[in-house]
Amino acid sequence: NLESIFFFFFFAPLYSGLQHVPLESLELAFCYLHPVDLSYLTESHHAGCLKKLDLSGNNLSESLLLPFQQLLRVASVSLLYLDIMECRLMDHHLISLLPALRCCTHLRYLGCFCNPVSTQGLKTLLQNALLLWDLKLLIHPFPIDCYEEELPWPPSTSNLLECFIDREKLSKASAELQEVLMQAERTDLVLTPELHNYSPMDYFDF
């Protein structure tokens, strides 16, 4: 588990000189994390120093949701980059995360691609993300109401990646989202579902 990973890197004799150095970047994508792992990280001296956090591929929709909210609040003082791609987050999960997300006032990059979220859910996320004045790039999922056929519920990652998108529906949803941006005069914020068209910004350049 995560506690063992931290013990090895920060308390083993070979790494004894690093045990008091806080982490700025942590990638735990597709690690099958447990609640105790996120709780351990939240209580560590690393949480408040993180600039980059990648939890892609972990199921944040169930037992990890509350520990993730708590981690996000502690990390919010320094966090610049957050990736929660393929985390099975639905509209109501994102809504529960919004108070913690709004605390991340320095956030520059938010990746939430491939989560089963509706157009309305994305609008709610965007309206809250607009309060993050440093945010420059938001990679969002294709809305679940923009697929050509009805998705099984809850949809799997393979469903979201392999089922066909109705381009007309997507164009309409994208126009609605862009209208929210325009009304807020946030032309500095790039909002897109095209994951591979934008290379993630290097948070060390900020």
Residue 18 resides in a domain: no
Give the pLDDT confidence score for residue 192 in this predicted structure: 94
Residue 117 resides in a domain: yes
Dump pLDDT digits (tens) for 148-176. 988 888 899 999 999 999 999 999 999 99
Residue 12 resides in a domain: no
Task: Report the alpha-carbon distance of residue 188 to residue 173 in Å, rounded.
Answer: 20
pLDDT of 97 higher than 70: yes
CATH number, domain at 170?
A: 3.80.10.10
Residue 112 resides in a domain: yes
Residue 16 resides in a domain: no
Residue 126 resides in a domain: yes
Count the domains in the chain.
Answer: 1
10 Å Cβ neighbour count for 148? 12
Contact 146, 173 (CB under 8 A): yes
Residue 30 resides in a domain: yes
pLDDT of 195 higher than 60: yes
State pTM to two decimals. Answer: 0.88
Residue 10 resides in a domain: no
pLDDT of 178 higher than 60: yes
The helix (run of H) or strand (run of E) holding residue 170 is helix 167-183
Task: Read off the pLDDT of each residue in 21-29 and give the average, rounded to a whole number.
Answer: 88
The parent domain of residue 53 ranges over: 24-205
